[in-house]
Amino acid sequence: MTSLDISKIVDGILKGDTVSISRAISIVENDLYSDRALEILQKIHPHTGRAHIVGITGPPGVGKSSIIGSLVPILSRKGRRAAIVAIDASSPFTRGSIMGNRIRMQENLTRYGTYMRSLSTRGLSGGLSFSALGTAKILDAAGFDTVILETVGAGQSDLDIMRLAATVVVVLAPGLGDEIQAIKAGLMEIAHLFVINKSDREGSFQSIKDIQDILLTAPQGEWKIPVIGTSTITGDGLEELIQKMDDHSMVNRSGKDRNRLARNELNLIVESELMKLASREMEENDGISEIISQVADGSKDPFSGSRSIIFRITRDIHEEP
């Protein structure tokens, strides 16, 4: 693919062309560090930074997808364009992912001009593929006002959502014991908003109160974390949720928060690139193969071996371009 082809894709992204958007995301997802992926992300960068990136996470079965499907029509009525990136679990061996549960949701959202893309985690720990970062940037440049990242809902593994999302919404449900589990998983530390979904069910009021009581003992900063009851059946709380998301967007545009997001993005990219480099070197570098053999026969301990491998990898890294 030539630079001319890349320029056409970038022009299409900036015009909101869905084919160009999809092609760019595929390039980024398949090889984030290829020259063509880097060229796309570099060229769209001046057009990013306007979208509100919202992360929606929480345990499986609490209705995250249902909430997103209910928010989109409301955002559409407000004249706002939404894009959804659904992060799905994948096998660490085959890198395959089951995305069939997104099909009904995607068909329903097309009537509102919503762009939806499913990405697999590709076996990465943290449940959030670093390709999601490039995807969010592309959708931002394409002019979407709100980009929603929905994670796999694997508790602790979803903590990486805070690296990308300006606003993190943690969704729980009454009667499932999710409130305590969320605290144990550390979700309390990353949430900007708590949602008790299925608030039409018995026990929802107590669930809301439980989270509110716990928040009273947590350190309070400039943003006071709200707890919102929602129901995708009755529609209760959905307008309030959007309003609170907007309120937090205004608060988090401070220089301090921009630095936090920039640091998180860089950490994610650097860690992912180093992991990819290390994996390739472990497979292809003869010197590292020798270290592996030494650890296998017991002549070298794995800790010293790891230090030797890190030294070899960092020695071979190119100088800053």
Q: What is the mean pLDDT of residues 188-206?
A: 87
Look at residue 126 and tell me whether its pLDDT is greater than 50. no
Q: Are 224 and 200 in contact (CB under 8 A)?
A: no
Instruction: Determine the pLDDT at residue 254.
Output: 63
Pick from 236, 252, 268: which residue ends a domain? Answer: 252
Instruction: Determine the pLDDT at residue 203.
Output: 83
Domain coverage including residue 4: 1-47
CA distance 169 to 193: 5
Tracing tokens 């309120």 back to the chain, one arrives at 247
Q: Are 133 and 25 in contact (CB under 8 A)?
A: no
- Asked if 155 and 275 sit in the same domain, the reply is no
- Asked if 116 and 37 sit in the same domain, the reply is no
Number of domains comprising the chain: 3
Phi, psi of 59 (to 5 degrees): -60, 155
Pick from 252, 271, 287: which residue ends a domain? Answer: 252
CA distance 195 to 231: 10
- CATH classification at residue 199: 3.40.50.300
Highest mean pLDDT among 10-14, 112-116, 223-227, 284-288: 10-14
Element (H, E) at 306: helix 302-316
- Asked if 53 and 27 sit in the same domain, the reply is no
Q: Are 79 and 45 in contact (CB under 8 A)?
A: no
> Does residue 36 sit within a domain?
yes
Determine how β-strand 227-229 pairs with β-strand 146-150.
unpaired
25 pLDDT band, cuts 50/70/90, is: very high
User: Cα angle at 182 between 178 and 187, to 5 degrees?
Assistant: 150
